[in-house]
Amino acid sequence: MGCLKVSSKSSPSSVAGAIAGMVKDGVLVEIQSVGAGAVNQAVKAIAISRGFLSPVGIEIACIPSFADIVIDGEYRTAIRFTVEPRSVRDRVAGASGVSAEE
């Protein structure tokens, strides 16, 4: 499992490239961020990485969770995003979850 630590100063495109490369290599990606700015950059990176992977037929799923971590001796709450590939057959009918037949 590869753990990427994202800060508010991280470049979303650079993080997205790292995510896409790891997913292509079959590595389960874990992204860790602390603070609103860092979470924002992480979410943008995940969206951009989907744009990198989708044309080559790879869809991804993102699972958010909380994690208690220690930074400089202080306990902080981080948001962790686990990014993993999913097969096309697992896709929901559409972004809204409503199929065209309804």
48 is a domain residue = yes
* CATH code for the domain of 25: 3.30.110.20
Residues pairing with 65 in the sheet: 80
Over residues 9-19, mean pLDDT: 97
Residues pairing with 97 in the sheet: none
Domain residues for the domain of 24 are 2-90
97 is a domain residue = no
- What's the pLDDT score for residue 102? 46
61 is a domain residue = yes
What is the C-alpha to C-alpha distance for residues 40 and 16, in angstroms, rounded to an integer? 13
pLDDT digits (tens, 9 = 90+) for 19-30: 999 999 988 999
Over residues 30-57, mean pLDDT: 97
4 contacts 18 by C-beta, under 8 angstroms:
yes
Sign of the alpha-carbon torsion through 72, 73, 79, 84: positive
Q: How many domains does the chain have?
A: 1
On average, the pLDDT of the chain sits at 88
